[in-house]
Chains A and B, each alone.
Chain A
Amino acid sequence: MNTCTCAPELKEKEKQDGLKELKDFIKTGKQLHDKQGALMNVLHKVQEIFGYIPREAMDVVSEELCVPTAHIYGMATFYNFFSLKPKAKYQIYVCKGTACYVAGGARLLERIEDELKIKLGDVTPDGLFGLAITRCLGCCGLSPVVQVNDEVFVRLVPEKIPGILDKFRKMEKKTK
């Protein structure tokens, strides 16, 4: 039985196109001091292209920059911004900064977990929503806040959560 809660893996063609784009990016990019100096920028690019850091991309980066894959794996797991799992279509970030915490951010998280029936760090089985926390979005004056992809919802109360989720579900239906 498949118990994995990740979003569906990328299709083969998408992956090949992405890897080609990545190679071009590395070849045309400016070198910074030494080859390894470009690593952060390149990993950001990988994350941007694929939405996560697939193993195949690690190998490409390793060959192009002459850095061991083990080191790249180390980087990808060290920094919160990089992910080894595919992300959901709508990634929900609940702010757990201090201001949001004092204003009741934890209760928003509980409510979202209840509504989506997933735990922190997981993705819904349909790949639509993923749930993660973030340490401060810099909107402390408007706490508590939740960010869904690029959209930030401010001064939230748990009662507003179902409405927000519905909004994205409707948006998804429309695009289909």
Chain B
Amino acid sequence: MEKKIIYIRDTDSAQKERINDYFTLFSNELRDANLLEQVQLVKVADIGLYEKGVAVKIIPENIVYSGIKTTDVKEIVEETIRGGKIIKDLLCGKKSKQLRAVLKNCGYIDPESLEDYIAAGGYKALVKVLTEMKPEAVVEELKKSGLRGRGGAGYPTWMKWNFARGMNSPEKYVICNGDEGDPGAYMDRSVLEGDPHSVLEGMIIAGYTIGSTKGYFYIRAEYPLAVERVQKAIDQATSAGLLGNNILGSNFNFELEIRLGAGAFVCGEETSLIASIEGKRGTPHPRPPYPSVKGLWGKPTIINNVETLANIPLLIAGGGTKFASVGTEKSKGTKVFALTGKVKNSGLVEVPMGITLREIVYDIGGGIINNRDIKAIQTGGPSGGVIPQEFLDTPVDYENLGKLGSIMGSGGMIAIDDTDCLVDLAKFYLEFCVDESCGKCAPCRLGGYQLLQILKKISGGNGELEDLNRLKKISYAMQKASLCGLGQSASNPVFSTIRYFEEEYKRHIVDKKCPAGKCKALISFKVISEKCKKCGLCMKNCPANAITGSREAGYIVDSQKCIKCGVCFDVCKFKAVMKE
């Protein structure tokens, strides 16, 4: 019998004990059936399933059973493991819409074990490249695959590599951009922490292709575990002869080193990142010359995102054509998104390009909390935009998101419902960009500040209709004139919210109301006497003593004293406090 693995995962993390019970049950059954030799039982953190209850996944058949009970264990062992038959009743109903490629090892292998990675098919691509492929062939394979940078802009990876390869220079560098500063995105962190060797392998292949002997991992200092695991991976690879001189007996030499970021969002921009490694303030330079021509210490350099590099081993091992079979015409492969916000199941999802936003939010994310209506989806972090719910059926790829005024970005995806105010959201992102602007060029430094002041004015109840035009004008100037991606895209949240939600801005400006009840200056709290059960909870909890009254007479909110913290609204069990 072929060797099998059973992954067992309890999706309810509150019941850690239960998974142990099931583990024991399974191992007892397997022992009774005399199958312990052939079957490996593994407890895992996640098998990409969100249904309630205990779930198991059987490899290599890739059968997933969910919601299993203790009485089912015997049947699973007898029927499926021994008999090879599928038990239809237990089969996880929906076929998962996720496609795990980059994340396929995360949670399955021990990230601190080189052996685990190799057992999962790791470093096969490197062997293939070093033994049977010329650098040109690697570029050709990348071109066939249609892989584009996963860091945001979606620049074709093969072109970047080909430029650097064509440069005649004794020194060239490969940099892995792990400065994941986008608030709301954490896919790079998961890959670095869960499968560091895959990124390493991608970097070594990149080094071979462009003719470089030195690579740098640039990782945020805020990710200490990622730093630790990557360092461990580098040490393991070095002692196994996968890094260093004459890798795998070839005449190719390559070494890797970690450089730490220090908390500057702008360092995700490639020229700033280079400045940071060189020991300077992380301010960008005008391009061209592009880093692939003149980068780190003036030498040709390629900078790729973590996710892009993690795609490389898969792509080479399976071939570019196979890679290109997934996705849309111009965007190939899979993309990892960090789905967060008001969805029931938040977390990392990896989907094939071309899936619709609705499928991601409803089929994978389980819909919106409390079954409220979705208002919009924000993608691409502070450089992205909002996509209103009428476009939920748009297939996700670089072009489509761009057309809608947003970007793919590094893959943050935040669901917004009607309790979120979009003026406030735009303000939030602008605050971030103003804070993180390096201050080198005027459009970003001054424009961002002015945008923020106008937004503050609007949410403070002092907006004028002319402000909308001012916002558009400044946004346009920033897009055209800023030096780097941060400034050029900092106005995207403003642009796209005005584009789709102008009405909401006008409500703030003309009616002086915030429909979502977020902008403090524009809301007031009131006790609805018909609904009030006179429990007094609101008065007791009010931090400003703005609620007066008694159990007999009922309660009222003194709007002069009210600091609009919303505590009364939250504590009222009878929904008798109204926010308007």
Contacts and interface: CB of A to CB of B under 8 A. Distances in A.
Interface of A: 32-34, 36-41, 43-44, 67, 71, 74-75, 78-82, 96-103, 107, 110, 114, 134-141, 143
Interface stretch (B66-74, B337-345, B463-471): B337-345
B420 interface: yes
B182 interface: yes
Nearest to B173: A33
Interface string B309-352: 00000000000000000000000000000101110001110000
Interface in B427-445: 428-429, 432, 436, 438
Contact of B338 (A41, A96, A140): A140
A79 B183 contact: no
A141 B414 CA distance: 11
A80 B282 CA distance: 12
A103 B180 CA distance: 21
B181 interface: yes
14 contacts: A33-B278, A33-B297, A71-B280, A80-B262, A81-B221, A81-B222, A97-B184, A98-B412, A100-B183, A102-B342, A107-B566, A135-B183, A140-B346, A141-B348
A114 B181 contact: no
B282 A78 contact: yes
B93 interface: no
Contacts of A79: 262-264, 282
Contacts of A140: 184-186, 338, 340, 346, 412
Interface string B275-304: 011111110000000000000010000000
Nearest to A98: B184
Contacts of B342: 102
A114 B543 contact: yes
A32 B262 CA distance: 18
B262 A43 contact: yes
Contacts of B508: none
B100 interface: no
A133 to B, nearest CB: 9
Interface string B387-415: 00000000000000000000000001010
Contacts of A110: 565
A104 to B, nearest CB: 10
Contacts of B432: 96, 135
B279 A136 contact: no
B47 to A, nearest CB: 16
For the complex of A and B, the 6 pairs showing the least CB-CB separation, nearest first, are: A39-B279, A97-B183, A80-B263, A79-B262, A138-B186, A98-B184
Nearest to B181: A135
A137 B222 contact: yes
B150 interface: no
A79 B281 CA distance: 8
Nearest to A97: B183
A138 B428 contact: no
B165 interface: no
B340 A44 contact: no
A39 B221 CA distance: 15
A84 to B, nearest CB: 13
Contacts of A67: 279
B23 to A, nearest CB: 25
B259 A75 contact: no
Nearest to A76: B262
Nearest to B190: A138
Given A101-B183, A114-B543, 18 more contacts: A37-B278, A37-B297, A80-B264, A98-B340, A98-B381, A98-B414, A99-B183, A99-B341, A101-B428, A135-B183, A135-B263, A135-B265, A135-B432, A136-B184, A136-B186, A140-B338, A140-B346, A143-B346
B455 to A, nearest CB: 15
Contacts of B429: 98
Contact of A78 (B348, B428, B438): B438
Nearest to A140: B340
B340 A141 contact: yes
A143 B429 CA distance: 17
Contacts of B566: 107
A44 B221 contact: yes
Nearest to B297: A33
Given A33-B297, A98-B184, A99-B341, A141 B281 contact: no
A66 to B, nearest CB: 11
B330 to A, nearest CB: 28
A129 B186 CA distance: 28
Contacts of A141: 338, 340, 346-348
Contacts of B416: 102
Contacts of B278: 33, 36-37
B189 interface: yes
B279 A40 contact: yes
Contacts of A34: 297
A67 B281 CA distance: 13
Contacts of A74: 281
B336 to A, nearest CB: 13
A101 B297 CA distance: 39
A146 to B, nearest CB: 14
B91 interface: no
B252 interface: no
Given A38-B279, A78-B438, A140-B184, A102 B259 contact: no
B476 interface: no
Contacts of B184: 97-99, 136, 140
A163 B180 CA distance: 32
Given A96-B183, A98-B428, A99-B340, A78 B221 contact: no
A107 B543 CA distance: 13
Nearest to B267: A79
Contact of A102 (B223, B257, B414): B414
B378 interface: yes
A71 B257 CA distance: 24
Most buried by B among A44, A98, A137, A139: A98
B572 interface: no
A57 B158 CA distance: 45
Interface string B173-201: 00000001111111001000000000000
Contacts of B221: 44, 81
B280 A75 contact: yes
A30 to B, nearest CB: 9
A37 B340 contact: no
A134 B341 contact: no
A145 to B, nearest CB: 11
A73 B559 CA distance: 48
Contact of A81 (B263, B265, B346, B420): B263
